[in-house]
């Protein structure tokens, strides 16, 4: 699941290689000149310069189709297309591979197909109010107490389905940010704003602040 999501994020950003740039520190003047020419001719091949703590990174646009692919990859299990939830005598099948998105200005609706013994087929819709181009809201989002769907499903599973929908959105934004660039420690960037427009999602990134920096040794041990 993690590899699938990371690859989709890299494809969305258009980066072919992302790294810390540590190997470029001792380059010669000739190499620097060649590197500058490579950046000019093939900007997607060379990773961006690492950002200082707290510096703002790229603002990443994601079209509706790509956003849907990312959300599905964020919650889809490593095997199969669905997951089975159980709570006592209650059970629910969640078809993660068929999750869909509706994106409007300042609103994201995550449509989750489910089924159980009482409801053979249904779609639960979790609506989030997020930022927009005119009204940025950082990573703050609001939703209803219960999502829209069959009462038998949302009364028991509404909170869990809302959490799944938010996990999908947040996980997608986090991976997009991480794959868009690096900070001085080699750690991926983090998302600081999620906005929705009729064209898709917009993820604003930044480097971690000084108090939140990740030790380089930790970054290297977590690198894929």
pLDDT tens digit at each of 224 positions of the chain: 667 777 777 777 764 333 444 443 444 565 666 666 766 776 665 556 799 999 999 899 999 999 999 999 999 888 899 999 999 999 999 999 999 999 999 999 999 999 999 898 999 999 999 999 999 999 999 999 999 999 999 999 999 999 999 999 999 999 999 988 899 999 999 999 999 999 999 999 999 999 888 877 665 555 44
Of 90, 99, 94, the residue nearest 171 (C-alpha): 99
* Rg of the chain, C-alpha, whole Å: 20
CA dihedral (9, 11, 17, 20) in degrees, to 10, reads -20
**To which H or E segment does residue 196 belong?**
strand 190-197
Domain ranges for the chain, please list them.
Answer: 2-222
Look up the pTM and report it.
0.79
Tell me how far apart the terminal alpha carbons of the chain are, to the nearest angstrom.
13
Of 186, 191, 163, the residue nearest 175 (C-alpha): 191
Distance, in Å, from the CA atom of 216 to the CA atom of 218, rounded to the nearest integer, reads 5
């Amino acid at each position: 699941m993690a590899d699938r999501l990371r690859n989709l994020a890299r494809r969305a950003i258009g980066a072919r290689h992302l790294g810390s740039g540590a190997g470029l520190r001792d380059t010669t003047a000739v190499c620097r000149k060649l590197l500058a020419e490579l950046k000019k001719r093939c900007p997607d091949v060379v990773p961006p310069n690492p950002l200082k703590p707290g510096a703002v990174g790229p603002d990443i646009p994601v079209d509706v189709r790509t956003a849907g692919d990312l959300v599905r990859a964020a919650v889809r299990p490593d095997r199969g297309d669905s997951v089975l939830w159980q709570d006592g005598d209650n059970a629910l099948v969640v078809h993660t591979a068929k999750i869909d998105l509706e994106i409007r200005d300042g609103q994201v609706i995550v449509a989750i197909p489910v089924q159980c013994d009482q409801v053979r087929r249904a779609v639960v819709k979790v609506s989030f109010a997020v930022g927009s181009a005119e009204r940025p809201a950082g990573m703050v989002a609001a939703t209803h107490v219960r999502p829209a769907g069959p009462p038998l499903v949302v009364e028991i599973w509404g909170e869990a389905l809302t959490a799944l929908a938010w996990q999908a959105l947040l996980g997608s934004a986090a991976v997009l940010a991480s794959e868009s660039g690096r900070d001085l420690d080699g750690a991926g960037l983090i998302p600081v704003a999620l906005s929705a427009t009729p064209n898709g999602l917009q993820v604003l990134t930044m480097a971690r602040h000084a108090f939140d920096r990740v030790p380089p040794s930790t970054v290297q041990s977590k690198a894929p």
